[in-house]
Amino acid sequence: MTSSSQRPVLVLFRDDFRLTDNPALHAACATGQPVLCATVQDEACMPGGVIGWWLAQAAQALTTALHNYGGPLLAPHGETLPVVLDLVKSFQVTDVFWNRRYDPTGTKIDTDLKAALTEHGVTVHSLSARLLHEPWAVRTGAGQPYRIFTAWWRAARELGDPGRPLPAPPTIEFAPIPKPFKKNLAPAALLQPTLPNDATEAKKYWPCSEEDARTSLDNFLEDTLEQYETSRDRPDQEGTSGLSPYLRAGLISPRQVWHAARQAQARSGDHANTEKFLSELCWRDFGWMQLFYQPDMPTRNLRSEFDQMPWQNDAEAFTAWKEGRTGYPLVDAGMRELLATGTMHNRVRMVVASFLTKHLLTDWRKGERWFYERLVDADPALNAMNWQWCAGTGIDASPWFRIFNPVGQSEKFDPSGAYIRTWVPELTALPDKLIHTPWKIDAALSRHLRFVPGTTYPHPIVDLKQARAIALESYKNLKTV
């Protein structure tokens, strides 16, 4: 029998593919026992689509990072509980460490796993790393979860800055891997989900490592933070951090982002832009709090009166929306950006979601699923919360009668059409004043530019005024049901 100080401890990595600010890894190393690093490839926790590809890239990046420390990542396949019990028995593991998750599937798996491990005499250490504030940490005076973000944010601010991020462990003493387990070693054992063929730009847009995440953060703090309040709404500018895919895969932690922003603030003396950025970062916590308390948020209208909504769900219109062929340039640019890169600017996400649910009267759940399949930052809590926000069906949501006009939004936030021209090349030659309304081109210019509305670029699939009136009428009737 191996003495308990030589028996290993196990760290499980799940959407926290990093060495810095990783409390589970940090605490495992602090035991002084050999460390076994593993990620279980459990189908129940492995989404498909672009996010599936991205998480596999992140696991690959962690493999490389651990190799640089001189050790391996185990990546066994199968259901988490039997796989972990097998590792624990085979390696005589004394303790298992993980960072907590808050989605319904992950929470259930971890609860069952903790019970089984405890029964086997193994000590479980579950730590807080994914959020700045865990779902239950910020509550109303009556002990209830908040329903309004501004109230949540005010209460969260009173708790002060979150704890400082942890450094990467200086060294890791890895447990040796016996021969029968070599087949489980990453990278060979890692599944390699492929990108959809039309996601042509995703690899170029999203280099995947902890260092890449840090570079994005540093560049943002250096070049953009000081104008964030205004630049964040401009899809034609590099006005946001681009951190969401890195936060999603845990290549960077929210505490690292928070404290780096605070340091930048101390250097510059800026207040308003940093506060705005930190509050946006906290919408992430607010979304996770909502999912934790309402695990069916991705499928259920949080405001039940919308269960009666007479969605039209026109299949052709939905396809045109998905493919970026609605005839509204900003909508089409956004949807094509999503297809090619796996992302879309936040302002444009709001415009396309409003257009789908209100002008096309399509159930928000269809849009939510499509985004989940194609976003590189697809996140069960943030995607569902934001779709319900845009559709007016959520708590603290945009009211139904707030219907974004895709032409007005385009003129305001992409005035010269630079963003539209990037993603809708058939509009490139149009003058700025027509880029938002190409159907208004006159015959002479149409001939001169060889731009034929309806041929070169689709006619608008709905009349905005008429569609808006129908949307408002549907909602009015709904309230009287």
- Residues marked active site are found at 280, 283, 311, 346, 364, 387
Residue 360 binding ligand FAD, by CB under 6 A: no
Query: Between residues 255 and 284, which has the closer beta carbon with respect to ligand FAD?
Result: 284
Q: How far is Cα 30 from Cα 35, in angstroms, rounded to an integer?
A: 10
Verify cis geometry, omega within 30 degrees of 0, for the bond prior to 167.
no
Q: Which residue is listed with tokens 């039940």? A: 304
Q: What's the start-to-end Cα distance of the chain, in Å?
A: 71
Please state the closest distance from residue 36 (CB atom) to ligand FAD, in A: 31
Q: Which of 50, 202, 221, 247 binds ligand FAD (CB under 6 A)?
A: 247
3-state helix, strand, coil in the chain (%, to 5): 55, 5, 40
Residue 231 binding ligand FAD, by CB under 6 A: no
One symbol per residue from 267 to 296: x for binding ligand FAD (CB under 6 A), - otherwise; what is it?
A: -------------xx-xx--x---------
* Cβ-based neighbours of 304, under 8 Å, separated by 6 or more: none
Q: How far is Cα 208 from Cα 212, in angstroms, rounded to an integer?
A: 6
Residue 205 binding ligand FAD, by CB under 6 A: no
Residue 14 binding ligand FAD, by CB under 6 A: no
Q: Which of 28, 353, 424, 471 binds ligand FAD (CB under 6 A)?
A: 353
Q: How far is Cα 205 from Cα 343, in angstroms, rounded to an integer?
A: 9
Query: Between residues 383 and 393, which has the closer beta carbon with respect to ligand FAD?
Result: 383
Residue 349 binding ligand FAD, by CB under 6 A: yes
Cβ neighbours of 363 (radius 10 Å)? 19
Task: Report 373-402 residues binding ligand FAD (CB under 6 A).
Answer: 375, 377-379, 382-383, 386-387, 390
Q: What phi and psi values does residue 191 have, to the nearest 5 degrees?
A: -65, 150
Tokens of 333: 């640019």
One symbol per residue from 306 to 345: x for binding ligand FAD (CB under 6 A), - otherwise; what is it?
A: ----------------------------------------
Please state the closest distance from residue 346 (CB atom) to ligand FAD, in A: 3
Is residue 250 marked as binding?
Answer: no
Residue among 60, 63, 18, 20 nearest 174 (CA): 63
Residue 346 binding ligand FAD, by CB under 6 A: yes
* Cβ-based neighbours of 458, under 8 Å, separated by 6 or more: 320, 325, 326, 327
**Residue ranges binding ligand FAD (CB under 6 A):** 232, 240-244, 247-248, 280-281, 283-284, 287, 346, 349-350, 353, 371, 375, 377-379, 382-383, 386-387, 390
Annotated binding site for FAD: 228, 240-244, 277, 377-379
